[in-house]
Chains A and B, each alone.
Chain A
């Protein structure tokens, strides 16, 4: 017991020492004149464009209609407060506040460099925020990283597969790392779902981009995560695989899984999500429920910001 305490203390002390430099760095960075961080965004689009609409003076979409209705008092699947991230002198996130209800699909739109991937990386525990906090299933991503990783599934822009291993070996490795039981059975099941049961014995190096994406999807399906963070999941997917992913997201939603979907593809995002949010230059500039917005009005929001970046 005493030994255990000593080891914990040494680990804590080393952690504090190692984090000493970033903390000092953060202090100098935070005092820059960034937009004041409030609990919830108070963005007024009229200030930026002169045209205005969808000024978020209210709490984000959860107060309004369907998916998140009645959320108050319930621990949200995701809760982000005043999230700020600086890369050197460059701000990637400038005070994001966001809550996502259990079972909700949030489509996160934004041009390149808007901060979508950075936000997902912070939620996945791969990156520490400069300021603010992020909770996943009520767990702090910084403090409870291991527990957070048990409930999340991430589909990143890189497929995260080992090319020298076969498709099946990649999944068996993932199953071992995830601490799952009945490896072979689970792997066979997900391979069948993504239509790769015949190709599974081939090395991933020989797979097409679409096949690699399917295999990455199979890896995501392995442990049936409660919260999914998907970064451009439709890239390189053919129609069949796109349909497969859409079905998977819908089935997961029925079972209560929450999804954050970062994409450029407005039409797909709009079709799948319960809620849309737009990130621009590290700020949440738009947040609305699907029932409150049409695809056209969503498109007009992009035009409002004077940028043409939607990918069809």
Chain B
């Protein structure tokens, strides 16, 4: 019970801080808009190109905005030595990890949900009918990305070159996950049978389990010093 309370307290703290400052969400939404907007111009309204590249572009935007959110999340803990304060509580390290993960996952998912209508408008897509299927792809992909990102952002928090190290470690690690998300989204956007997305969903599920279990097992050792 205390474990669950601690997880929720950390997530609550992050979300309240984010809601009041709106620093991460504003920056992330702006960045997502910028990426989608620039690529929509680059593709010059060519529907064939758009159909082929849209899911990749969407996940490119999500990956970069997610990275931005993760970096800001750890930045907020570094201010005033809050990360040290958090580690000084007699709380299970797993609770700290899960709390941070819940906060990061919620913020990234929210930005993705805000980006969908923008994507639909800029790329002339009818997403409304596809939204439930799209969410079935987006939620596990975001969970895996946030799980790996929360671990790595906390791990690199103490490094001077953390801004460079985080993408350097995160992107290679999440390539299979992002690839599966791109393929799954492609199936949905092309209005193909959802059966075709199932292997990608399974792959994402496997990566989510792997990242979550691996992170829970290693977090304690990685946050020390």
Contacts and interface: CB of A to CB of B under 8 A. Distances in A.
A156 B85 contact: yes
A294 interface: no
B51 to A, nearest CB: 43
B91 A177 contact: yes
20 contacts: A19-B221, A124-B88, A125-B88, A126-B87, A146-B90, A146-B92, A149-B88, A149-B90, A156-B81, A157-B81, A158-B80, A160-B81, A160-B85, A160-B88, A162-B13, A164-B21, A164-B76, A169-B13, A176-B6, A177-B10
Given A18-B218, A160-B80, A176 B225 contact: no
Nearest to B17: A164
Given A14-B221, A18-B222, A161 B87 contact: no
Interface in A128-187: 128, 146-147, 149-150, 152, 154, 156-165, 169, 173-174, 176-179
A177 B16 contact: no
Contacts of B86: 177
A15 B88 CA distance: 20
For A157, A160, A161, A165, the residue with the greatest tally of chain B CB atoms inside 10 Å of its CB is A160
B162 to A, nearest CB: 18
Contacts of B76: 162, 164
Contacts of A164: 16-17, 20-21, 76
Interface in A1-31: 7, 10-11, 14-15, 18-19
A126 B13 contact: no
A245 B197 CA distance: 62
A156 B85 CA distance: 9
Interface residues of A, number: 36
B60 interface: no
A18 B221 contact: yes
B85 to A, nearest CB: 3
A177 B221 contact: no
Interface in B136-194: none
B82 A162 contact: yes
A293 interface: no
Given A19-B221, A146-B90, 4 more contacts: A126-B88, A127-B225, A149-B89, A158-B82
Contacts of A160: 80-82, 84-85, 88
B173 to A, nearest CB: 16
A149 B93 CA distance: 12
B9 interface: yes
B88 to A, nearest CB: 5
A203 interface: yes
B53 interface: no
Contacts of B49: none
Contacts of A165: 13, 16-17
B97 to A, nearest CB: 13
Nearest to A19: B221
A159 B80 contact: yes
Interface string B198-225: 0000000000000000000110111011
Contacts of A179: 2, 6, 90-91
For B20, B76, B88, B92, the residue with the greatest tally of chain A CB atoms inside 10 Å of its CB is B88
Given A126-B225, A158-B84, A14 B20 contact: no
B79 interface: yes
Contacts of A146: 90, 92
Interface in B61-95: 76, 79-82, 84-92
A303 to B, nearest CB: 33
A162 B17 contact: yes
Contact of A173 (B9, B81, B221): B9
Contacts of A163: 79-80
A177 B9 CA distance: 8
Contacts of A156: 81, 84-85
Interface in B85-131: 85-92
For A156, A169, A179, A203, the residue with the greatest tally of chain B CB atoms inside 10 Å of its CB is A179
A173 B84 contact: no
Nearest to B80: A158
A3 B188 CA distance: 39
Nearest to A142: B224
Nearest to B8: A176
Contacts of B5: 176
